[in-house]
Structure 1
Amino acid sequence: MSRRLAPFAATLVALIILAACAGGQTLTDPKEIITQGLAATADLSSLHLNATVSGSFTDSTSGAEISLDGTKASGDFATSGQGHFSFEVPTFLGLAGEVIVLGSDAYVKTTLTGEKWAHQPIPVPSPGASGAGSSGASAWGGLDPKAMALAEIGKLLAKDGVVSKKLDDVDCGDVKCYHVQVTIPKSVVESAEPGSASPMESLTGDVVLDLLFNRDKLWLTEVSTKVTATSGSITAKVTFSKFNEPVTVSPPPSDQVTEGGLNFPGL
């Protein structure tokens, strides 16, 4: 995935942890829907996510076409710091695996690295950084991830040329959803990390994000995008459900855990 697209991939991840209540009023301003909706999603105690990726790109070194078709991930996440996820990248040697997150501990197991789980600590920002003392900051060493994510998304929406547009409401299962489309100009994406090399080196158009928010609760329910470059194109969609449902995660048995990172054979 392009390093130039990293800020926007990070935006997608940030959407998972954002939220604020908005009790029932009809909203028409797209930026207000985004900011209130993202502020409302972070107050959730938990959610379930499903992500799919498809498309292909040409490797700049070997010239080989690399397919991402069938790539998917799913799992449950609690804002208390627990999560259990599974993933598949079938075109990469049939790679599949699981990730367990428990506070500052992560456990990973893949089909390419054997039967045991690899345990690694998760880095936590140092105390005393900006945001110390704000609500939600304790688990992040004094940082408030919600405030940080909202600030970064606010900066993105305020950039010259970035356009937010409210489209017609759509059905989301048995509820209605606001549909907001954010267009990020090619120039903004390519200026994010000038000079970086990547499989998606040169975009052929703007990046468009489609966001769906539950009209009553304002919870984010879906994010989707398609990115096209001279080397190929990638389509991605993330959906969210099972809001505020209990999430119980347990660590793997100790005799099935090894310390340290994953070792992929031949890599």
Structure 2
Amino acid sequence: MPIITLTTDFGLKDSHVGAMKGVIWSLAPHAQIADITHLVEPQNIQQAAQLIRRAAPYYPPATIHVVVVDPGVGTERRPIAGRLGEHFVVGPDNGVFTALVEYHEGRGDSTEFVHLTRSEYWLPRVSFVFHGRDIFAPVAAHLANGVPLDRLGEPIADIVRLRFAKPLPLPNGLRGEVTHIDHFGNIYTNILRSDIQDKRVREVHIGASVVRDFVKTFGERMPGTLVSLFGSSDHLLVCEVNGNAARRLGVQVGDGVEVFFE
């Protein structure tokens, strides 16, 4: 039974997500639909790229990942579909698949993309402002029904890619930036476990604060303590135990962070 995931910035108030699911089930009633999130910040392509990267690898082979964070809908931006290793993706060509493509390339997986040009695989009437319902949902359903990728459009050599900031070296440390703040107020950085390797973190400078508690998990410290740790996706995080670190520190996405080693 094929799985189709949905990641959007549509929120939970309106009918957009429900309409997409209706299209999918009308064309592929056997498909399972999994909601990764519909709470991406509006038009935040970079956030969507990071969230789909963190979730998609945990789905089984042949899963179809639909991402609709599409501020360029109805313009000349291309609708695309692709195969990344044993997974498929469908969405706008605006960089939203950058992090997931880089993940698969890092694993040595083959990748291919098509520009969705075969309108017989769309809904008969296409709105200028809702390609999620009228193009991406039906294309995902046709993939779930076994339609080959190359039948959906014309091959393209590459897709739009975002440029993610990389950590910069400091004397005995690294300088990075805040990339995401989650529901709990945990602060994600672009510094990975692999950037630090076997070095021991002495302190993390963020905002006007210095965090000196580096732990393996939240329960090692009392509620209210500021700590740094590696999250489940191996990013360096700054957190307040049982609290909201971003609110406490006044930190936003894009702010700088510095890590120093022992």
Scaled by the length of structure 1, the TM-score of the pair is 0.22
Give the strand-richer structure, 1 or 2. 1
Give the helix-richer structure, 1 or 2. 2
Greater RCO (CA < 8 Å, at least 6 residues apart): 1
Scaled by the length of structure 2, the TM-score of the pair is 0.23
